[in-house]
Structure 1
Amino acid sequence: MKKLLVACLASTALVSGASAADLGVRRVAVPAAIVAPSFSWTGFYAGLNVGLGSVNTNLSALTGGNLAGTATAFVGGGQIGYNHQINNIVLGIEGDLGYFGAQRRGAPINFGAFAAQFAWRTTWDASIRGRLGVAVDRTLLYVTGGVAFADLRVSQTDITNNIVLASQTQVRAGWTVGAGVEHALTPNWTVRAEYLYANYGSRTIAAIPGVSMQTHKVRLGVNYLFSTGPSAIVARY
């Protein structure tokens, strides 16, 4: 009986000591995951752009060197589009329309009773393009391509009597490609810089066959992103 009593007391002492030891250990809470939304390019957007453009034709060769082939001009307009981001890949579609005021006038040709002058000009261009980009958080690097439209007017004027002898205006369709970079300054405002090339092929205009036309544009733009869409969730500890 004495041995049993001693064994019970010893067991009680061990349990009490272990409990006291546990009370002295500081419990550390497991840190919870902190979720932080990253920027998303998903959503509709609209904006404005300005820049410089050049129009190149082969009218100089086709008119005996009378008309210079290339003209540089101010470009400006607006764009509207939609982006959809999947991980860091951004797919989009964009349409734009703008002013493109390039023109060239040839040297006057003397016909005796009057002097005539050849000229060509463009006034606008537009495009519908797809976009494919890689997003690095708030910066988007992209390529773009699609269908382009522009006007071209060729005329011959009696500059002695200020009479238009002949003129024709075409609306041309062609293809366009380009690339750019866009950066989000805020969740809704972005700025961009891009280059676009367009080729409108060769056509007969004003009885001149095989008139080709290509354009180059470098422009800066600003966009308002109407919705940043669902943001990606990043877990940090």
Structure 2
Amino acid sequence: MAADYAAPADVDVWSGYFVGIAGGYAFKDVDWDINDGGETGDFSSDDFIIGAYYGRNWQSGNFVFGLDSSFNYIGLDEDDDLGDLEAEADFLGLSRLKVGYAVDNTLFYAAGGIASTIFKVEDTATGEDDDDWAFGFTVGAGVEHKFSEHWSARIEYAYFNIESDELEYEAGPGSDVIEFDLEGHIVRGGVAYHF
């Protein structure tokens, strides 16, 4: 039975490819800056998240090294604090290097790498909008347990920070630019299949 699964001693448990689904909660804070200090502000956006993750592990003794990537829906959509502007960043990607220590079929790991999203801004008064990829960094840690030969469950924490380039939009007679700094904390759990 799955509940009785135990990894044999001195056996490579974690090497190989995996793919999984994950869900949890994201606590997000956004700073915004129009025209390089002309107007600034901030807002918070806390939402449930859902996504998928995938990657590859290599095990050497008790140490596990891996590549771990995910794409997530984070549902950032704000217009209350921005006047005629509406800001969106629905997608969050995390591409990370992972280092862990395995105790039988339980893996404790830390991970860090690149965080990415697509910022979009729209002036609802003029209909003008702009969007662009933005990149930053992410760090975190977690624990994963194999409850059968091919299936595992994990819970993890991740911090991310992403700063946008200038997004340009037409505001009345001229054009303005806005920059965003997105910072967040994620707590999520997932289930994966290992090939």
TM-score relative to the length of structure 2: 0.81
Of 55, 59, 83, which aligns to 2:57? 83
Query: Are residue 56 (structure 1) and residue 29 (structure 2) matched?
Result: yes
Kindly provide the CA deviation profile for residues 113-153 of structure 1, in whole angstroms up to 9, marking residues without a partner as x.
Answer: xxxx2221111111221100011111111000111211111
Task: State how far apart, in whole Å, the 2-side matches of 1:108 and 1:132 are.
Answer: 41
**What one-letter code is carried by the residue in structure 1 that aligns with 2:181?**
S
Instruction: Select which of 184, 189, 192 maps to 1:215.
Output: 184
State the Cα distance separating 1:210 from its structure 2 match.
4.4
The list of structure 1 runs, each at least 4 consecutive aligned residues, that deviate by more than 4 angstroms after superposition, is 60-65
Call closer, same or farther: CA 1:108–1:149 in 2, change over 3 Å. Answer: closer
Q: 1:93 aligns with which of 54, 67, 72?
A: 67
Aligned to 1:185: 147
Could you tell me which residue of structure 2 aligns to residue 141 of structure 1? 108
Aligned to 2:4: none
Give the counterpart letter for 1:219 in structure 2.
R
Give, as a single letter, the amino acid of the residue that structure 1 aligns with 2:191: V
1:201 to 163, 166, 169: 163
* Partner Cα separation in structure 1 for residue 66 and residue 81 of structure 2: 46
1:37 partner SS: coil
Across the aligned residues of Structure 1 and Structure 2, the Cα RMSD in angstroms comes to 2.4
**SS at 1:186's partner residue?**
coil
Q: Does 94-103 or 125-134 show the bigger shift?
A: 94-103
Counterpart selection for 2:8 from 37, 43, 55:
37
1:156 pairs with 2:123: yes
Note closer, same or farther for the CA distance 1:155–1:75 as it changes in structure 2 (3 Å cut): same
Q: Which structure shows the higher helix fraction?
A: 1
- Structure number with greater Rg is 1
Amino acid at match of 2:145: H
**Quick one: distance in 1 between partners of 2:45 and 2:129?**
19
- SS at the partner of 2:128? strand
Please tell me whether the aligned partners of residues 141 and 180 of structure 1 are also in contact (alpha carbons under 8 angstroms). Answer: yes
Ranges in structure 2 where 5+ consecutive residues have no aligned partner:
1-6, 169-175
1:49-95 Cα distance to aligned partner (Å, 9 max, x none): 01111332212896857x65211122111111111111111111112
Unaligned 5+ runs, structure 1:
1-35, 110-116, 159-163, 227-237
Higher deviation after alignment, 92-101 or 129-138: 92-101
Share of identical aligned residues, percent? 29
Q: How many residues align?
A: 178
Distance apart, 1:201 and its partner CA: 2.7
SS at match of 1:197: strand
**Paired residue for 1:70?**
44
Moved more, 140-149 or 98-107: 98-107
Alignment partners' CA distance in 2, 1:82 and 1:108: 42
Q: TM-score, normalised by structure 1?
A: 0.67
